[in-house]
Structure formats: structure tokens, C-alpha cells
Structure 1
Amino acid sequence: MRFATFFSTLVVAATGVAATASFSSASVALAGGFTEKNCYGAPIPPWKTGHHPGWYYGKGSAPQGISCILDSLFCELLNLFPHGYHCPSPPPSTPPHSPPPPPPYTQVKDFYNLGCAAQDDSYLTYGLVDTVDDCYDMCDSVSGCAFFNTYHDVYGKNGSPQLTCALFSKCLTASCADNCGGQSQPDGSIDYISESSGYCKAHY
């Protein structure tokens, strides 16, 4: 019996969760380490040398070099860890004839379409998304997230098709947007930041 199947059997026995797929030992190790302790795969913040996105959440093609792709299969595996990270869930449907709920996040004044991104000690994690709404969903799914910053970190010949999504535990202002890129890339280019915007949780 492969380790992955054995592990899944143990998890099912311990949690009562039905496993519908068998996972490789590498996937199991990746899911088991995808925790708050290691900033969900991104322990080095995006403004420091050696940083790397911890995850990708979206419906497009996954970027090269990203280990944690939060698709349905990997999310199913994460769900086998009852005290670990769980992927975003679809929002509950609004009953007919009910007013829509107030927006849970508000855009921070003057923190819109900047050429610099936020950096702050309240950093939680960062990854890549397709849309601002995807980043909103990620903030909702990470414990303690109160603010998210989306931006394009433009580097290399292919630019930056995905948005960077950085999450923080406290609401920040535009004065915290002082990560303006300028880091040398392996191909000799210099990265820069564009379309940086910040959103704060309304009931923080």
C-alpha cells in the first residue's frame, strides 16, 4: 500500500472525512505544511530578497513554479486536515427579495492604482490570483486577515499576467505602500509595481 493511500485511510479513520482520491506523499507533505506557521508557503514577504509566492488561487492557467495550486483536488486534500487551512467557500446565497449585504471590504482612501505595494509587520502570506475578487476570497479564508493588497509585480519578458495578493492582519494606509520593486531578476530585468490597491475589512 502506498504511503499516500495509507495516510488518507488514517485521516478518514480519525476525522470521518470521506477520501475520494489518493494523494502522493509529496502532496500530503505539502498540504500538511500549508499553515499559518510558515505563512501558507510564503515565509519571506514580497518586499524581501528571496521571496516566492506561496500559492495560486484562480481559474486560469497556474503560473510556473507554484507548488500550492488551490484547485478542487488540493483543496480536498487540505480538508483532510481538520485544524489546517481550508480553501475559500462559495458565499451563501441571498434569500429572494432581500437587500444585498453591505460590502465586507472597502477600498482604502488614496490606496488605488499606485506604483508601490504595502509592506508591514502584520504580513500574513502572499500568492497569485486572477482577480481582485479572488484575493478577497483568500483574505476571507485566512484566519486574522483584515486587509489585502492586490498589484502587478511586473518582471521578466512575460510581464505579470496574474495579480499578486498580499494579506495582512491589520488595515493599512497608502503610507505603507513603499515596496516599489527595483529588484534584479535572473534575466537581468528590474521588477516594478503597478496597479496596486488596498482593501480593508469593513468590520475589522
Structure 2
Amino acid sequence: MYFNAIFSTLFVAAASVAATTNFSSASVALAGGFTEKDCYGAPTPPWKTGHHPGWYYGSGTAPKGISCVLDSFFCELLNLFPSGYHCPSPPPPTPPHSPPPPAPYTQVKDFYNLECTAQVDSYLTYGLVDTVDDCYAMCNSVSGCTFFNTYHDVNGKLTCALFSSCLTAACADNCGGQTQPDGSIDYITQSTGYCKAGY
């Protein structure tokens, strides 16, 4: 009963957004479902069969098959859902003649350039980015994110996996080998972990 009430509320809100904007009903439905509960479009973690990146955030061309492209258009739509996800904001410029702020994330000492990725229950979501800085921005924009793992695999872009706890190389035991929908076999290279300061 509770689920039906929430779904009805979301449906009415989505219909209202679609009616008052130039967004398609499919885009509105996608934005309304882009939530923590659905792991932001990636409910199956990357170490399980049938996984698929939930989103793409970057300045390049989005890879084929990614439904949530976090570009200015889709981010504008997400902003219409006040309690939903909001895209990363660019960091404020450093004032002139000021020392640079301390790094908010640091690379974990033993979690560098591995051929395996993190595989733990504190998984939040994963998607594709162009740079490590893009992944850092995504971690900053996802509630509870304190650690991100970047690596290269069959997806063709930099993969960005987010977690709610800081990890060590001992957690990096997903070494690929999963069969993909197109029949290719997943592999892992250049896996590196970054922990938020203070965690």
C-alpha cells in the first residue's frame, strides 16, 4: 500500500513536469526513477552477471546503450524533482593569491593500478566518466559516497564505481571474467581507489 502511494505521487509529479515543460514523458519517467533505491540506474553491481553502467557523466560522446546521460538537459530535468538526485556542480574557483584547498579525496596507498576492482556491500552505483575528476564530482553528488574506484574495462570509457565506505586493496577481488551481453569477456585494468578525507 505504501509503495503504491509513493508510486502514485511520483507518477502525478512526473505527469505534471511533462505537461509544463518540453521534456518527453519517457525522459521524465527516467529522471523520476533515477534514485538511490535503484542505485542510480545500476542496481546490479559490476561484479555480478547482467550488470550495466547506470549513467554517463563527462564532456565527451556518451557510449551506446547508456540511458542516463548526465548532460545539461537531463540535469535540468532532474532539478525539477526536489527530493531526487542533482547533478554535480563545478567546484568554486580558488580565490587569487590563496593556497589551494586541501584535497578532498586521496588515492589509497595500496589501491593503485590494480587489475581487480572493489566488490563490497557498501556499493552505491556505477557509471562511466571521461576523467578521474568526473568520478570525484559524481561521488560528491551522491549521498553517502566516501570512496570511488576508477578503472578501465570493456565499456570503453573510464568506469566509476561509488561506495559508502573507504576501502583498501584487500577489497579489490573482482578481477573481471564476466560474460557480457554481446558475448565479450570483461577485464579490469588501471583500477585505483580514492577515499574522502576524514573517513
**TM-score calculated relative to the size of structure 2:** 0.89
Aligned match of 2:17: 8
Deviations 1:48-90 (A, max 9, x none): 0111110000111111110000000000000001110000001
C-alpha displacement of 1:187: 4.3
CA distance, structure 2, for counterparts of residue 34 and residue 5 of structure 1: 12
Say whether residues 1:42 and 2:39 are aligned partners: no
Aligned match of 1:164: 159
CA distance, structure 1, for counterparts of residue 31 and residue 54 of structure 2: 12
Asked if the contact 2:114/2:192 (under 8 Å) is kept, the reply is yes
Say whether residues 1:115 and 2:110 are aligned partners: no
Aligned match of 1:82: 82
Asked if the contact 1:4/1:23 (under 8 Å) is kept, the reply is no
Aligned match of 1:70: 70
Asked if the contact 1:4/1:24 (under 8 Å) is kept, the reply is no
Deviations 1:3-30 (A, max 9, x none): 99962277xxxxxxxx7x5100000000
Aligned length: 188
Q: Which moved more, 1:88-97 or 1:49-58?
A: 88-97
C-alpha displacement of 1:136: 0.3
TM-align CA RMSD: 1.9
C-alpha displacement of 1:203: 2.4
Aligned match of 1:152: 152
CA distance, structure 2, for counterparts of residue 134 and residue 70 of structure 1: 11
Distance 1:42 1:5, change over 3 A: closer
Secondary structure (helix, strand or coil) at the match of 1:192 reads coil
C-alpha displacement of 1:111: 0.7
Aligned match of 1:179: 174
Percent of aligned pairs sharing the same letter? 81
Equivalent residue letter for 1:140: N
Equivalent residue letter for 1:31: A
Asked if the contact 2:15/2:25 (under 8 Å) is kept, the reply is no
Aligned match of 1:53: 53
CA distance, structure 2, for counterparts of residue 64 and residue 81 of structure 1: 26
Secondary structure (helix, strand or coil) at the match of 1:95 reads coil
C-alpha displacement of 1:153: 1.3
Asked if the contact 2:50/2:181 (under 8 Å) is kept, the reply is no
> After TM superposition, where is structure 1 displaced by more than 4 Å over at least 4 residues in a row?
3-6
CA distance, structure 2, for counterparts of residue 84 and residue 4 of structure 1: 12
Aligned match of 1:15: none
Aligned match of 1:13: none
CA distance, structure 2, for counterparts of residue 129 and residue 151 of structure 1: 10
Distance 1:25 1:4, change over 3 A: farther
C-alpha displacement of 1:112: 0.7
CA distance, structure 2, for counterparts of residue 187 and residue 8 of structure 1: 36
CA distance, structure 2, for counterparts of residue 68 and residue 38 of structure 1: 13
Aligned match of 1:16: none
**TM-score calculated relative to the size of structure 1:** 0.87
